[in-house]
């Protein structure tokens, strides 16, 4: 008997007489079907946080995707729209090439927002862990995201030796470098990222303060895995240069008293939440006594957060911050922005998020890793991760629809490729990329004006 039932966001489908492996069920019914303990196929149990897919019928017509490789993403639907769409753009471009018809790909997006629309009452970190476990059950081999360091830790912990690889485009905590051994042949690891860890950002902040002669510093940071190492690292750098900062944990805008801020200090505010940055600027702008300056970190490099009160706008001339380099006059970046605008014309624009190019490149990295896996063995998280080790030498190859054909031919011939993308050249050293850090100020149109460029190795100069 064949039956179909929709129940609590899950699709229950037909049951064959018996199954012995998940592959039996997927071959019979499509993506996500698994072999249950009783020896019958069960339909995919998909969280209501993961309703958005491309193609749109991935979950409603799973029989069309029996042979598809499905990539998962973990982003905030409210705050990471640009990053999520940038990753999807890579999938769309891959599918737009007729030569890839034999290599079907799909993507399922999962949301980590704390939202009453979801019945699970999860924090963002718990949500990241929960959807990662769901991806494991669905045998999704690769995940792009999460966007924040705390969520990345939760996702890594949820994999717990499982079969998926995670590529984050914006989780920058230095502590993520130590969650596993340096990737190597035969042991490629689970966690990768297309952004550099915060070691260089720490240097850039302290060096910029030194160059400007700043001696009165108030460090205000959130109590999480992103902000803590940043605050500690900058504090250590300043102390070594004879500056003793005042340091305080930020309790949140609802509990913070703006009178805690020294009137003439440079305030280094470190938050992984862009909305909280806006809230803090509103608070600080309301203080008539404050006559200092503000330094923000890379999580604040989003023009959308500067939609603040009139009082907060008065701070804009004294606001500066850091972010990984955005190559705004670099052809791969401008091509990415143009393609993004064409596919997602209703916004928000790609240029409003400093991690957009890194998110696009993360999607393509997974696809290139997948191509290596196809040429060298079964497609699993481990083989995709192994493939990422083969993207750093050989012929220079763009992370786009033109480059994927060359990469496929190279991998089938036993060669490697040296990739570059919209964010630049992804040169991995001990499993981490080395990218410059920009120090920016706000221009007349609230756009970012790069004041300093800090290179790996420790030198900061005005951009040429």
pLDDT digits (tens, 9 = 90+) for 398-427: 999 889 999 999 999 999 999 999 999 998
Domain spans in the chain, listed from the N-terminal domain onward: 1-45, 48-195+355-433, 199-323+437-461
pLDDT number for residue 347: 77
**Alpha carbon of residue 115 to chain centroid:** 20
pLDDT number for residue 11: 41
CATH number for the domain whose boundaries are 199-323+437-461? 3.40.50.2300
Average pLDDT over residues 154-165: 90
Angle, CA 306 vertex, CA 303 and CA 308 arms, to 5°: 155
**How confident is the model over 227-272, as pLDDT tens digits?**
999 999 999 999 999 999 999 999 998 999 999 999 999 999 999 8
pLDDT number for residue 102: 65
Neighbours of 99 (CB within 10 A): 10
**Alpha carbon of residue 117 to chain centroid:** 24
pLDDT number for residue 1: 24
pLDDT number for residue 287: 93
Q: CA–CA separation, 150 vs 294, rounded Å? A: 24
Average pLDDT over residues 327-332: 93
Within 8 A by CB and 6+ apart from 361, the residues are 90, 169, 194, 399, 421, 422, 423, 426
Average pLDDT over residues 150-157: 96
Q: CA–CA separation, 423 vs 324, rounded Å? A: 9
More reliable by pLDDT, 43 or 294: 294
pLDDT number for residue 36: 85
**How confident is the model over 350-362, as pLDDT tens digits?**
998 889 999 999 9
Average pLDDT over residues 424-436: 89
pLDDT number for residue 429: 83
Superfamily of domain 48-195+355-433: Response regulator (3.40.50.2300)
Average pLDDT over residues 371-382: 94
pTM, 2 dp: 0.91
Residues 141, 380 contacting (CB under 8 angstroms): yes
Checking if the pLDDT of 16 tops 60, the result is: no
pLDDT number for residue 99: 65
pLDDT number for residue 81: 95
pLDDT number for residue 7: 32
Unique residue bearing structure tokens 């008065």: 314
Checking if the pLDDT of 324 tops 90, the result is: yes
- Sort strands 34-35 and 52-54 into parallel, antiparallel or unpaired: unpaired
pLDDT number for residue 445: 74
Checking if the pLDDT of 306 tops 80, the result is: no
Instruction: Tell me if domain 48-195+355-433 and domain 199-323+437-461 are identical in fold.
Output: yes
**How confident is the model over 180-198, as pLDDT tens digits?**
999 999 999 999 999 999 9
Please tell me the total number of residues recorded for the chain in this structure: 464
Average pLDDT over residues 439-457: 88
Instruction: Output the average pLDDT for the chain.
Output: 91
- Sort strands 69-75 and 142-144 into parallel, antiparallel or unpaired: parallel
**How confident is the model over 120-151, as pLDDT tens digits?**
999 999 999 999 999 999 999 999 999 999 99
Q: Enumerate the β-bridge partners of residue 29.
A: none
- pLDDT grade for 4, boundaries at 50, 70 and 90: very low
- pLDDT grade for 75, boundaries at 50, 70 and 90: very high
Burial class from Cβ neighbours inside 10 Å (0-12, 13-18, 19+) for residue 27 reads middle
pLDDT number for residue 69: 95
- pLDDT grade for 10, boundaries at 50, 70 and 90: very low
Q: CA–CA separation, 192 vs 461, rounded Å? A: 29
- pLDDT grade for 157, boundaries at 50, 70 and 90: very high
């Amino acid at each position: 008997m064949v039956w179909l039932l929709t129940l609590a966001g899950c699709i229950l489908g037909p049951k064959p007489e018996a199954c012995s492996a998940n592959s039996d069920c997927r071959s019979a019914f499509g993506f996500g079907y698994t072999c249950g303990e009783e020896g019958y196929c069960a339909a995919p149990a998909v969280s209501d946080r993961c309703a958005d897919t491309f193609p749109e019928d991935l979950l409603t017509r799973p029989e069309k995707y029996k042979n598809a490789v499905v990539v998962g993403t973990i982003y905030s639907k409210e705050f990471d729209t640009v990053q999520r769409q940038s990753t999807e753009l890579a999938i769309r471009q891959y599918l737009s090439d007729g030569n890839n018809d034999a290599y079907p790909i799909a993507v399922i997006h999962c949301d980590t927002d704390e939202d009453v629309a979801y019945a699970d009452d999860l924090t963002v970190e718990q949500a990241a862990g929960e959807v990662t476990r769901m991806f494991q059950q669905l045998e999704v081999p690769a995940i792009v995201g999460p966007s924040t360091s705390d969520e990345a830790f939760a996702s890594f912990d949820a994999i717990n030796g499982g079969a998926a690889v995670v590529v984050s485009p914006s989780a920058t905590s230095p502590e993520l470098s130590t969650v596993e051994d340096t990737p190597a042949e035969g042991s490629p690891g689970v966690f990768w990222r297309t952004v550099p860890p915060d070691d260089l950002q720490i240097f850039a902040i302290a060096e910029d303060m030194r160059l400007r002669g700043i001696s009165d510093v108030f460090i205000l940071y959130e109590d999480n895995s992103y902000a803590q190492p940043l605050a500690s690292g900058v504090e250590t750098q300043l102390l070594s240069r004879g500056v003793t900062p005042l340091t305080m944990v930020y309790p949140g805008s609802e509990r913070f008293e703006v009178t805690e801020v020294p009137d003439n200090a440079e305030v280094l505010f470190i938050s992984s939440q862009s909305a909280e940055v806006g809230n803090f600027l509103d608070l600080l702008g309301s203080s008539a006594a404050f006559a200092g300056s503000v330094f923000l970190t890379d999580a604040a490099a989003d023009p959308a957060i500067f939609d603040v009160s009139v009082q907060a706008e008065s701070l804009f001339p004294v606001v500066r911050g850091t972010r990984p380099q955005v190559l705004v006059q670099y052809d791969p970046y401008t091509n990415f922005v143009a393609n993004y605008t064409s596919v997602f014309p209703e916004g928000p624009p790609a240029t409003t998020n400093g991690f957009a190019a890194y998110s696009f490149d993360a999607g393509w990295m997974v696809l290139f890793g997948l191509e290596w896996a196809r040429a060298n063995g079964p497609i699993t998280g481990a083989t995709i991760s192994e493939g990422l080790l083969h993207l750093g030498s050989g012929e220079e190859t763009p992370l786009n629809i033109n480059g994927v054909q060359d990469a496929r031919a190279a991998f089938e011939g036993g060669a490697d490729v040296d990739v570059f993308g919209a964010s630049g050249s992804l040169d991995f050293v001990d499993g981490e990329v080395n990218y410059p850090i920009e120090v920016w100020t706000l221009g007349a149109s609230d756009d970012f004006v790069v004041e300093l460029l800090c290179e790996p190795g420790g030198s900061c100069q005005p951009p040429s």
